[in-house]
Amino acid sequence: MTQMNDELRAADEATERKLADLRERLKAMGSVLVCYSGGLDSGFVLAVAHGVLGDKAVAMTATGPALAPKERDDACALARSLGARIELVDAGEIEDAGYVANGPDRCFHCKKSLYVTAKRVAGELGLGAILNGTNLDDLGDYRPGLDAARQHGVLSPLLDCGFSKQDIRNAARLMGLSLWDKPAAACLASRIPYGTAVTRERLTQVAGFEQALKDLGLRHVRVRHHDTVARIEVGTQDIVRVATSPLRESVVEAGKQNGYAYITVDLAGYRTGSHNEVLDGRHLKTIA
């Protein structure tokens, strides 16, 4: 027990040092626009930036169809609780043919639209740096959106300060932020397989079914869209429960209400990044 307490104390001290470095870097920027989805990473950046810069730290949330309505509402609520200004904008990614085509570079087209809009908003508000919530763990997956950030001069202070996802959770917990244990929340377009067009209708389908599943008490959940089939990812501890009455009937009914003819459960369970499991580097794998 003593060894465990010492390890936790050492981890907290390391996190505090990174947090102090982050605050100094943000202070030196003078004013910032945070590209903010309401998730853990960008929410943490906003909280720290607002704590250091006050009104000179502004959140910008792109409210396109790939952001679930509940996530948008939660983002607004968190910004209000921090006392931070939030700008809700339409970045117009759904009008970008490259985004709609949904190739492996879809995220690049999405982020390009986001960062072009962010530059405009930052200019209108007289803000200096544009920030995102990219951290060390994001480097371990295929993220073409990182190229868009580099091309548009968007800064990643969490990456620069060496924050991992666990560091962010630890720091958010130490700061007393309610989102410290919030599940990861990728955009809804990541639920649609590469090569299947991203449409408002499909995004609405996925959002509605995922919210229904959360309302049924499933905390870690993804709905993967395959035309008339919904492939559900839930925590491995929930797989049997989802496939057993009475929850099974409720899940099937919710799926049908959201336009799916067939409801399946992925036996591998919930995992982030499974959208990219068909990729080999930057190319689609050939599946025999």
Contacts of 154 (CB under 8 A, 6+ apart): 35, 115, 118, 130, 131, 132, 148
CATH of domain 192-284: 3.30.70
Res 273: pLDDT:
60
- Domain locations in the chain? 2-181, 192-284
Torsion of CA 139, 144, 148, 150, to 10 degrees: 30
Instruction: Specify whether domain 2-181 bears CATH 3.40.50.620.
Output: yes
Distance of alpha carbon 23 from alpha carbon 7, whole angstroms: 24
Res 121: pLDDT:
98
Identity of the amino acid at 47? A
Q: Are strands 85-89 and 57-62 parallel, antiparallel or unpaired?
A: parallel
Instruction: Return the structure tokens found at 182.
Output: 């919030």
Cβ distance 57 to 49 under 8 Å?
Answer: yes
Residue 230 burial by Cβ neighbours in a 10 Å radius (0-12, 13-18, 19+): buried
Identify whether 104 is preceded by a cis peptide bond (ω within 30 of 0).
Answer: no
Cβ distance 267 to 233 under 8 Å?
Answer: no
Contacts of 286 (CB under 8 A, 6+ apart): none
Instruction: Return the structure tokens found at 242.
Output: 């989802």
Q: What is the pLDDT along the chain (288 residues), one digit of tens a residue?
A: 665 455 566 678 889 999 999 999 999 999 999 999 999 999 999 999 999 999 999 999 999 999 999 999 999 999 999 999 999 999 999 999 999 999 999 999 999 999 999 999 999 999 999 999 999 998 876 778 889 999 999 999 999 999 999 999 999 999 999 999 988 878 999 999 999 999 999 999 999 999 999 999 998 999 999 999 999 999 999 999 999 999 999 999 999 999 999 999 999 998 866 565 655 554 444 332
Query: Got the DSSP string for 73-138?
Result: HHHHHHHHHHT-EEEEE---GGG-HHHHHT-TTHHHHHHHHHHHHHHHHHHHHT--EEE----GGG
Res 198: pLDDT:
97
Res 3: pLDDT:
54
Distance of alpha carbon 158 from alpha carbon 41, whole angstroms: 8
